[in-house]
Amino acid sequence: MIHSKAVETTVGVFIALGLAAILVLALKVSNMNMFDADDGYTIIANFDNIGGLKVRSPVKMSGVLVGRVSDISYDDETYEAVAEITIDPKYAKIPEDSTANIYTAGLLGEQYISLDAGGAEDYLADGGQIEITQSAVVLEQVIGQVMFDKASGDDEE
């Protein structure tokens, strides 16, 4: 009977560790593992098309996670999507002439904003705006363009 109880306890411990590992993995996949949105400072970037970018999507510089998308809205005067980005306070030296691009990462197609540092001596501050942006590449538009180019190329021969 004692042997059976020890086996049951060991199995229970392994199941608990497995559930904890699944929880950690779920939090990593859902981007819930970073600083509070209240921490840091906010900058703005306007895009013609944000594709599948979502709130809490990562913001990276040189591959390093420096912030998160905190809000996405639509500006009906410029007809652009407005991404509000919260930057971790330890990354306070982002040049104000930096650029923002939307890229796709991984097999699941997660989209993120990549910031490329400019050369300005002044830095973005709370409420600052990134002027130069590149929108997301929409796969359907690329395929349509390739097919259109191929069809128009066949007519010329």
**Domain ranges within the chain, ordered by starting residue:** 1-30, 41-144
Return left, alpha or beta for 79; rule: phi > 0 is left, psi -120 to 50 is alpha, else beta.
left
- Nearest to 46, CA basis, from 99, 118, 96: 99
pTM of the full predicted structure?
Answer: 0.68
Q: How far is CA 106 from CA 51, 55, 57, 154, in A?
A: 15, 18, 13, 35
- In order along its 157 residues, the chain shows pLDDT tens digits of 567 888 889 999 999 999 999 988 887 776 555 555 557 899 999 999 898 899 999 999 998 999 999 999 999 999 999 999 999 999 989 999 999 999 888 767 788 999 999 888 999 989 899 998 988 777 777 788 888 777 776 554 4
